[in-house]
Structure 1
């Protein structure tokens, strides 16, 4: 959602309150609609499939998978609530969705981002505990459900100021000094804080606790994991085949999780830079290109909703097989008979050996042992 944080005294400085506004181009508008629609479609379908596949199998409900599913749920919420609203507001340059959505949309976006980054932190801490302290305390599925509930409650609490200070106002359009003002009934959705100091304190705190500090903690966790795995490398090379396969599987799991974190950090970096500039030195943002720059930054941030299923799908061969099996079942439901085998989504990047009960005497299959996520 556009960063409309301001006070009513500074409304004349906002880019859309301008006697000579810069009209958007048809090509730019079309590109914006197509790009946002693609992100919404990929984010909704990909994350929904991921959540369904994880919870369809009971053996999949381990700590890491539950937290990944929680990350996908926050992305689904973002795709359903925030992205369509942002497209409509950006294209129309005025608010037509009512006061309730004016307050709910920034609240949901802040809550969803907080849940996402906290989920990534919990995943990193869980991997750190398993690898650095393999004989110590091991979290179980019940702990992850409790962590998910606490994460949503904390995220809801952090986002409450948006419900209080987001308002719907007609004042910018009523103050236009033009004869026969046709925009007098138009409104914008913006944040109205008690003081500029309060607004800056809150937005700066969000930047620190919703982006910088969590990513720093995640970086430290994975750095320690990397150093520990590298220290074990010589021991693994002399170990049995089973231990070597287990170590390689653990490395693939960590590579997948690191890729998700890096993609999240890169996607949200432009929007955080934009919001920081807007908060502390908004004169640096050109008035005409304000919406274009914001849309590019916001679209990049929203692309993070597609990262989870894409990275997980590319690096997990069994996710691909389970997805194919699910699609084949759907085809069977529509009257297209199709034979298929079901593969449990319990390994990352490893091949699952297929064993046929009817041909056990004809083939001797050696199944590889794989580490579960």
Structure 2
């Protein structure tokens, strides 16, 4: 049985308190923001028809799981500066953490490829992104992401457990071997390379098509022009999401690869972790700030909630007593007072 309360503290107390506060704030904001986004997208018919929306919903669900499970456990870990939640949760924590990171990256790969096929290979779009094809892709995204964690979970390649020096539940070496670097390579670096190449191809295709349009079709159909603008805005939005995700997770990847054993810079580890947690919170704000269709979906949801609240309030019984017209009111006669 592992001792989860004995630890060698490597972090300044100010850093652990800061990390715990950030985890709690991100937990509350992330659960609310991602839940609202899921409801808004599901209730918006205009966005439901986009194949991209399915992958965005999958991304929100992954962030919601992270905010509702991983972040509360992380807050407890930093508050107590020890792992006090038992062996089972210590093994579940890295599965959900690394699995959700892989799900997020693979969803972004699917979104990027969706944008690329729509812009550069439109004749394949209806085949590759039919309803059944989207469900199959989502199944593989979630399956591959969590299958990466099966070898360390079963102790076949590395193992999951507590690192006492950092009081963190993570992937540990077993017999001198660990799949951590392979998981970062397959689950993070390779997908990021694919995304960067795909967005480069998208940029080249859009630039090329615009030049053709200007030279051959000076007057274009308004409806097709509006559709192209919407697709362009959505592509830019997804590119912003990826850049923000990369910015948030890249520092954590660097410290995990280059400073994983000695922990020479503990405060840097804390800041890198906080930046990684932020990636599960910022997406709803990016959707609202960067895209008109997503803002419209949010506003429609808020109007529905507001109208339902007003309707429920109007059904409450009034405190003001209004006598019935047919009721008889007793009035004493003037003669009786004389």
Superposition TM-score, scaled by structure 2 size: 0.79
Specify the alignment match of 2:92 in structure 1: 104
- Tell whether 2:256 aligns with 1:275: yes
| Cα pair distance change 1:271/1:334, threshold 3 Å | same
Specify the alignment match of 1:184 in structure 2: none
Specify the alignment match of 2:43 in structure 1: 56
Specify the alignment match of 2:296 in structure 1: 321
| Cα pair distance change 1:229/1:98, threshold 3 Å | same
- Tell whether 2:44 aligns with 1:24: no
Give 1:204 deviation, angstroms.
1.3
| Cα pair distance change 1:52/1:22, threshold 3 Å | closer
Question: CA deviation digits over 1:200-233, x for unaligned, max 9?
Answer: xx11111211221111111111111111110111
Tell me if structure 2 keeps the 8 A contact 1:71–1:116.
yes
The equivalent position to 1:299 in structure 2, one of 274, 283, 306, is 274
Query: Partner of 2:148: helix, strand, or coil?
Result: helix
| Cα pair distance change 1:31/1:160, threshold 3 Å | same
Give 1:327 deviation, angstroms.
2.0
Tell me if structure 2 keeps the 8 A contact 1:61–1:141.
no
Specify the alignment match of 1:88 in structure 2: 76
- Tell whether 2:148 aligns with 1:167: no
Question: CA deviation digits over 1:317-342, x for unaligned, max 9?
Answer: 2322332232232233333699xxxx
The equivalent position to 1:193 in structure 2, one of 164, 173, 183, is 173
2: CA distance between counterparts of 1:337 and 1:84? 34
Tell me if structure 2 keeps the 8 A contact 1:106–1:162.
no
Deviates more, 1:246-255 or 1:233-242: 233-242
Tell me if structure 1 keeps the 8 A contact 2:70–2:96.
yes
1: CA distance between counterparts of 2:11 and 2:288? 42
The equivalent position to 1:149 in structure 2, one of 132, 136, 139, is 139
The equivalent position to 1:332 in structure 2, one of 307, 329, 333, is 307
Question: CA deviation digits over 1:27-85, x for unaligned, max 9?
Answer: x5553343222222222111111111222245514311000100111111111111111
Q: Where do 4+ consecutive residues of structure 1 move more than 6 Å? A: none
Give 1:192 deviation, angstroms.
4.3
Specify the alignment match of 1:124 in structure 2: 112
Give 1:272 deviation, angstroms.
0.3
Tell me if structure 2 keeps the 8 A contact 1:55–1:61.
no
2: CA distance between counterparts of 1:106 and 1:267? 18
Specify the alignment match of 1:254 in structure 2: 235
Specify the alignment match of 1:73 in structure 2: 61
Give 1:137 deviation, angstroms.
4.4
| Cα pair distance change 1:246/1:87, threshold 3 Å | same
| Cα pair distance change 1:79/1:235, threshold 3 Å | same
| Cα pair distance change 1:256/1:221, threshold 3 Å | same
- Tell whether 2:220 aligns with 1:240: yes
| Cα pair distance change 1:314/1:190, threshold 3 Å | closer
Query: Partner of 2:161: helix, strand, or coil?
Result: strand
- Tell whether 2:192 aligns with 1:204: no
The Cα RMSD (Å) is 2.7
1:218-233 to 2 correspondences below 5 Å: 218-233=195-210
The equivalent position to 1:264 in structure 2, one of 227, 245, 266, is 245
Specify the alignment match of 2:23 in structure 1: 36
Tell me if structure 2 keeps the 8 A contact 1:66–1:141.
no
2: CA distance between counterparts of 1:293 and 1:220? 30
Compare CA radii of gyration and give the structure with the larger one. 2
Specify the alignment match of 1:12 in structure 2: none
Tell me if structure 1 keeps the 8 A contact 2:152–2:171.
yes
